[in-house]
């Protein structure tokens, strides 16, 4: 190796759009290695600039590189160069960096006049760029010098990262609307744009969701123009409450030692009820998307009562001659009472009031979506035998 040539290796690993770095080579007399830094305090000091006399001159051909498009998890490299066109030795140290790099056990390196240094950046992105956006992989590393006219040089790498896997449908797999007692299946496809892979295991974030994978046939691979892939059948069984749900399908593959692919599974449980907020109290809201009643903020000493008008439909599903009934309504918080009153019925629907009462004088308490009060309702309706309403409030 030319003694005037110095190699600096920066290794970059991306998680999402956050960059981390790892060292990939041992330190030698002519190579600068950049292992992870814990903080800015780990960085070596900047080289000192001489007040008088001959000076170095740091010159670069380029300081940025756009790699265009790159597959997720694929490794890319690019070499930058710094030339010393001055008359004195050029001293270099690693500065701040978005990958939090530092120089391991070395405080400075020297490039003689006429010499050059190679700065090699290596990256392995795990995150992907948003489809249709201008978001780019964009990271940098700074080298400090003792050139009084160029105290620091910033090298930057940019580009778009596309998914190694093609997922169809792309955004989420929607099972649509279903009833409390219904089971539905939706199918999707996961295939490879680069290299073959296997699915080792499939897990989900909800016990009512299961999935099975089938390897694509040679005819399907040709049709979809992919290396290999799987059709995945996702089944949603009873177990969700009324309203919208969103969970994840987690597929463990054998790619790169175990790459996980996540797919969001969405749907909506519909029922024979319509809830209308008839309360005039400030801050009271009904969330139909997840069947949540927010009773607002109030004094625990004074308490609060909220009335909800409820319309029960599809009564033709009841046995002939049987009227719609609320069999039980109970709260898991002893001082939040639930009462059913003013029941009126016709052939096809029933109207009634569901009253939620926070008993005056009860202890102050805060109930949020993370820890709500759960109200369980049991009825004789075939499509609403049991369901929950989440109740939130701040009783001060």
**Among the ranges 37-41, 160-164, 209-213, which has the highest mean pLDDT value?**
209-213
- Is residue 41 very low, low, confident or very high in pLDDT (cuts 50, 70, 90)? low
Per residue in 140-186, pLDDT tens?
888 899 999 999 999 888 888 877 788 899 878 999 999 888 999 99
Cis peptide before 169 (omega within 30 of 0): yes
For 273, other C-beta atoms within 10 Å of its C-beta total 21
Of the candidates 140, 152, 141, the one whose C-alpha atom is nearest the C-alpha of residue 58 is 152
Q: How far apart are CA 82 and CA 46, in angstroms?
A: 17
Q: Please give the pLDDT value at position 39.
A: 47
- Averaged pLDDT score across all residues of the chain: 82
- Is residue 42 very low, low, confident or very high in pLDDT (cuts 50, 70, 90)? low
Query: Is the model's pLDDT at 26 over the cut of 70?
Result: no
- Beta strand extents in 272-316 (DSSP E only): 273-277, 285-287, 292-298, 304-312
Q: Please give the pLDDT value at position 133.
A: 57
- Beta strand extents in 104-180 (DSSP E only): 109-111, 116-125, 137-147, 150-162, 165-168, 173-178
CA angle 227, 172, 369 (to 5 degrees): 145
Contact 335, 358 (CB under 8 A): yes
Q: Please give the pLDDT value at position 255.
A: 79
Query: Is the model's pLDDT at 38 over the cut of 60?
Result: no
Q: Please give the pLDDT value at position 200.
A: 93
The boundaries of every CATH 2.60.40.10 domain in the chain are 5-162, 165-269, 273-395
Instruction: Name the least confident of 186-190, 274-278, 310-314.
Output: 274-278
The structural architecture, per CATH, of the domain 5-162 is Sandwich (2.60)
Q: Identify the residue whose tokens are 């680069």.
A: 194
Contact 388, 365 (CB under 8 A): no
Instruction: Name the least confident of 109-123, 194-208, 324-338, 378-392.
Output: 109-123
In this structure, which topology does domain 273-395 adopt according to CATH?
Answer: Immunoglobulin-like (2.60.40)
Contact 113, 88 (CB under 8 A): yes
Compute the CA torsion angle 235, 241, 246, 251 (nearest 10 deg): -40
Q: How far apart are CA 21 and CA 104, in angstroms?
A: 13
Alpha-helical runs (H) found in the chain: 218-224
Strand 350-358 and strand 229-236: the pairing is unpaired
Q: Please give the pLDDT value at position 134.
A: 64
**% of the chain residues with pLDDT over 70:** 84
Contact 208, 245 (CB under 8 A): no
For 263, other C-beta atoms within 10 Å of its C-beta total 22
| 201-213 average pLDDT score | 95
Q: Please give the pLDDT value at position 257.
A: 72
Contact 17, 127 (CB under 8 A): yes
Query: Is the model's pLDDT at 27 over the cut of 50?
Result: no
Q: Please tell me the CATH code under which domain 165-269 is placed.
A: 2.60.40.10
Contacts of residue 93, defined as CB under 8 A and 6 or more positions apart, other chains included, come to 43, 44, 45, 46, 47, 103, 107, 108, 109, 143, 144
- Is residue 35 very low, low, confident or very high in pLDDT (cuts 50, 70, 90)? very low
Q: Please give the pLDDT value at position 6.
A: 42
306 to each of 101, 229, 336, 358, 363, how far by Cα in Å?
Answer: 58, 53, 11, 9, 18
Per residue in 60-100, pLDDT tens?
999 999 988 777 767 778 888 889 999 999 998 877 776 53
| Radius of gyration of the chain, Cα coordinates, nearest whole angstrom | 32
Query: Is the model's pLDDT at 119 over the cut of 90?
Result: no
């Amino acid at each position: 190796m030319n003694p005037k040539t110095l190699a600096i290796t920066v290794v970059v690993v991306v998680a999402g759009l956050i960059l981390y770095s790892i060292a990939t080579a041992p330190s030698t007399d002519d190579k600068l290695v950049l292992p992870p830094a814990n903080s800015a305090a780990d960085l070596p000091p900047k080289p000192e600039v001489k007040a008088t006399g001959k000076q170095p001159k740091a010159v670069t051909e380029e300081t940025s590189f756009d790699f265009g498009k790159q597959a997720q998890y694929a490794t890319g490299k690019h070499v930058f160069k710094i030339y010393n066109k001055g008359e004195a030795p050029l001293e270099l140290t690693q500065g701040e960096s978005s990958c939090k790099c530092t120089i391991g056990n070395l405080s400075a390196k020297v490039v003689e006049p006429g010499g050059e240094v190679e700065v090699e950046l290596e990256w392995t992105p795990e995150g992907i760029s948003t489809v249709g956006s201008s978001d780019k992989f964009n990271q940098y590393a700074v080298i400090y010098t003792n050139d009084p006219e160029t105290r620091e040089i910033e090298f930057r790498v940019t580009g778009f990262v596309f998914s190694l896997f093609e997922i169809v449908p792309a955004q989420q797999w929607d099972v649509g609307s279903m009833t409390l007692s219904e089971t539905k299946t939706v199918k999707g496809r996961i295939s490879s744009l680069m290299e073959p892979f296997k699915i080792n295991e499939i897990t989900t974030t909800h016990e009512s969701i299961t999935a099975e994978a089938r390897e694509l046939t040679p005819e399907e691979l040709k049709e979809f123009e992919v290396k290999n892939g799987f059709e995945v059948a996702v089944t949603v069984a009873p177990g969700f409450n009324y309203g919208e749900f969103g969970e994840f399908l987690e597929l463990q593959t054998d790619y790169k030692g175990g790459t996980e692919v996540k797919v969001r599974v969405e749907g909506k449980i519909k029922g024979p009820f319509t809830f209308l907020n008839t309360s005039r109290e400030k801050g009271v809201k009904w969330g139909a998307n997840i069947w949540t009643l927010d009773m607002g903020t109030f004094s625990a000493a004074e308490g609060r009562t909220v009335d909800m008008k409820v319309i029960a439909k599809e009564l033709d599903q009841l046995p002939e001659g049987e009227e719609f009934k609320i069999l039980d309504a109970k709260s898991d918080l002893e001082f939040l009472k639930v009462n059913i009153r003013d029941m009126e019925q016709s052939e096809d629907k029933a109207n009634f009031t569901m009253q939620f009462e926070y008993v005056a004088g009860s202890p102050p308490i805060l109930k949020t979506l993370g820890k709500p009060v759960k109200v369980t309702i049991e009825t004789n309706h075939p499509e609403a035998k049991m369901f929950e309403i989440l109740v939130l409030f701040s009783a001060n």
